[in-house]
Amino acid sequence: MTPALSQFAYAAEDERGAVKSGVIEASDVNEAAKRLKAERLRPISVAPARQGLSARLSSGTNNATLSLRDLAQVSRRMSDLLRAGLPAAHALRLGAEQACSDKEKAFLSRLYEEVRAGASLTDAVRKSGFNAPRLFTSLIEAGENLGALSPQFDALATHYEEALALRREIVSQLIYPAALVVLIFVTLIFLSFLVLPQFEAIFQTTEAKPPPETQFVLEAGRLLRRYWALGPVVAILAYACLRFAAKRNPRLVESAALNLPFAGPLLQTREAGTFFRTLATLLTGGMPLARAMPLAIATVRFVEMRDELERAEMAVRAGERLGATLARARFIPKELVSFIEIGDETGALGSMAGQAARLAETRVKTAVKSAMVLLAPVLTALMGLLTAGVIAAVMSGVLSLNEAVY
């Protein structure tokens, strides 16, 4: 039976040293590398192809995928052990013994088995069965070629630790507003199911007509009790429609996301920051720009942004400066491109790309924090208004009952 073919994104050098990137079909990573070699291409990196934002909406999780936390811990641990002068195999064995998580231990143990069997560390990563990022594999390969693995693992550790810190900062900013939303929902459920039915029973017993505001609140509670189950159904249907639209027309969905009033520029800045952080890590790790560009572009999730960056890559290969080509890109913020233009002039492209990435991350964190600072009091006021409105309507009904009695 013929094995199922999958798509693998690759970057490879031809006989003249030019870097080519694309997608190839093969049964696994090793078969994809063999096919590239048969076409007289030297593989730089081979990894399962990514399909942009739509792939994230339409695909599930993969147990063999290393998280940012796993990658940061593995890189930092290996950097420390190799800096102490240990051989790679010995460092992998000790790293597996000291691993904090089962996935990290399994990954390092698998690498140790492959290296002990005679494989290079780069080949061991590719054969491990874990979905390691192309950046991770490429810097390890560069470290092996240069005979300096420890600095490469140190660069990887810094890269993933900064990315993890940014994610944690954004999540921490979202916790309080999310808690307020949950509290508003719980308050509405409490009032609708426990408080308002008692007042309905009182008005039905006395046959008194409630005031308009009380009648409105009682009807709202009645509707919520009757149709509350439709909320999750509507949310599931909306998510399913989004997945279907992302699968049928991914460019349309991604373009809509990138052009949203507030979130669009934020997404553009975040993706550009990811690109520049990866590019800086590769360049400071000793990789030439022609080889670093395809790997950095692969970390961008939006297809339209990747298309712009690939056009910039082609222009750079034709002899243009990177800053000049990125200045023509629609979705790359101009304030970030200015750092690249300085890097072109000074020859310090790696450090300037790193500064552009740090500025992008600062902009994202500041924007999210500002939005959450504004959203929190709005949600608090909304919860207060809802609660106070219900209480006021109920008290108005109670006063009307007193008047009816006396």
Tens digit of pLDDT for each residue in 381-400?
887 888 788 778 777 777 77
pLDDT digits (tens, 9 = 90+) for 7-58: 777 777 766 655 666 778 787 777 887 888 887 787 766 766 654 444 444 4
Are the beta carbons of 271 and 300 closer than 8 angstroms? Answer: yes
pLDDT above 80 for 294: yes
Count the neighbouring beta carbons within 10 Å of the beta carbon of residue 266.
15
pLDDT above 60 for 95: yes
Count the neighbouring beta carbons within 10 Å of the beta carbon of residue 256.
12
Where does the pLDDT of residue 325 fall: very low under 50, low under 70, confident under 90, or very high at 90 and above? very high
pLDDT above 80 for 153: yes
| Whole-structure pTM value | 0.67
pLDDT above 70 for 4: no
Mean of the per-residue pLDDT values for the chain?
81
Give the Cα separation of 7 and 226 in Å (integer): 49
Give the Cα separation of 192 and 394 in Å (integer): 12
HSE (CB half, 13 Å, CA atoms) of 399?
A: 9
pLDDT of residue 19: 60
CA geometry: angle 247, 6, 159, nearest 5 deg: 80
Q: How far is CA 184 from CA 39, 191, 233, 387, in A?
A: 61, 11, 20, 9
pLDDT above 70 for 402: no
pLDDT above 50 for 252: yes
pLDDT of residue 341: 92
In the predicted model, what is the mean pLDDT of residues 259-288? 86
Where does the pLDDT of residue 202 fall: very low under 50, low under 70, confident under 90, or very high at 90 and above? confident
Q: Any idea which residue has 């739509």 for tokens?
A: 54
pLDDT above 80 for 78: yes
In the predicted model, what is the mean pLDDT of residues 348-363? 90
